[in-house]
């Protein structure tokens, strides 16, 4: 089983944030999160082979969540996503480590492009 970095939304921080209070029940992030939770990321996860050695990887689900949500709010810039992740509660709520996200995108997106498109096409053709 692949290892992924574990982020706990209930973990204490310097400033404790109540995301339910910050975001509210009617915010679109809740519907977005439900859609992302329904997606199967098994094909992405089986490519990670850091079970016994290596650093924990950032979960593909978290990477894709941040990218898709960023696009949904009209942002196509990685730099802007990094800036917004410090300001917008819903991006903080998605729990993405953006330095790892940048590294992931620069090294993996070209090699995984076909796989990502195939998975998305399969998902949408089944829906």
For residues 17 and 89, is the Cβ–Cβ distance under 8 A?
A: yes
15-58 pLDDT tens trace: 666 667 777 788 888 888 888 889 888 888 887 777 777 777 77
Gap between the Cα atoms of 22 and 13, Å rounded:
16
Q: What is the pTM of this model?
A: 0.53
DSSP letter at 69 equals: H
The whole-number average pLDDT for the span 54-71 is 80
Query: Could you tell me the residue ranges of all domains in the chain?
Result: 19-126
The whole-number average pLDDT for the span 52-77 is 80
Helices (H), 13-97: 19-23, 28-38, 42-45, 60-72, 78-84, 89-93
77-110 pLDDT tens trace: 878 877 877 777 777 777 544 545 555 555 555 5
């Amino acid at each position: 089983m692949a290892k992924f970095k574990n982020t706990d939304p209930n973990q204490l921080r310097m400033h404790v944030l109540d995301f339910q209070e910050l975001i509210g029940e009617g915010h679109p992030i809740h519907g977005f999160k439900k859609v992302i939770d329904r997606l199967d990321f098994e094909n992405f996860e089986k490519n990670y082979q850091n079970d016994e050695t290596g650093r924990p990887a950032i979960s593909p689900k978290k990477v894709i969540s941040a990218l898709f949500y960023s696009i949904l709010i009209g942002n196509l810039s990685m730099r802007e996503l990094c800036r917004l992740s410090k300001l917008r509660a819903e991006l903080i709520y998605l729990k993405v480590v953006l330095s790892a996200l940048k590294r992931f995108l620069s090294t993996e997106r070209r090699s995984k492009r076909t796989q990502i498109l195939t998975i998305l096409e399969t998902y949408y053709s089944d829906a």
